[in-house]
Amino acid sequence: MGTPGDRAPLAERVELLLDSGLPLAIVAAGDPVLRHGTVPYDGQLGPALLDRFVEALRVTMRAAPGVGLAAPQVGVELRLAVIEDPAPVPDDVRLARGRVPQPFRVLVNPAYEPVGDARAAFFEGCLSVPGWQAVVARPAEVRLTGQDEQGRTLDEVFTGWPARIVQHETDHLDGVLYLDRAEPRSLSSHQAMAERWAQPTPDEAARALGFDLP
């Protein structure tokens, strides 16, 4: 990004970012901040500034709208993300994808590992890659560890769509975009998604576009 503020201490840069107003601008693919990984949170912001930053992430995520947002997506190389999914989807989509509501949550220093060998493949999008979606095969169940914004231990198993969300956001903290894990032949514009691939599963897209599903 290359501005003088980027060379200032992290807390000072976050203060300047928050002073720019809400919602925050979301960084698009191609910016190095999305590829360089993050530093663990160990109190760099202090409690009050952390609360302000978390609220800014919440406002920005909801305004986008999205179901998750990682700190690098607003230009901050800190190992922190937020998730929230009201899951306003039809019953057939909910059942096929295991998409159930998730309350607002803060993930601090998260990491995940697969639980079992089952994988699920669905179209996935990203606020930092606007206008496109692609099919990503991910572990169907993961164990997520880390902390919340109060420093309390997080050790929880996620399944279905919530598992996909926490994997997607944690990947951002490692400099990984969903496109790195996607089936290239599945890449579809939002228009194509609306016109052709709105089914609960990507089976029809796989047949038509010529890619395999797990």
Closest CA to 23 of 68, 55, 71, 70: 55
| 3-class secondary structure, 178 | helix
**Tokens 């986008």 appear where?**
64
Is 190 annotated as contributing to ligand binding? no
Concerning whether 169 is annotated as a catalytic residue, the answer is yes
17, 75 in Cβ contact below 8 A?
yes
**C-alpha distances in angstroms, 41 versus 155, 191, 193?**
17, 39, 37
Cα dist. 8→14, 119, 163, 205 in Å?
A: 10, 42, 35, 47
Q: Are 62 and 151 in contact (CB under 8 A)?
A: no
Share in percent of the chain as helix, strand, coil (round to 5): 35, 25, 35
State both tokens at 49: 């500034």
The residue with tokens 């999305």 is 34
Q: Which two tokens stand for residue 209?
A: 């576009």
- Residue 194 assigned to a binding site: no
Of the residues 169, 183, 195, 204, only one is catalytic, namely 169
Could you list the active site residues? Answer: 169
Annotated binding residues, written as ranges, equal: 126, 168, 172
Q: Please report, in range form, the residues annotated as the binding site for Fe cation.
A: 126, 168, 172
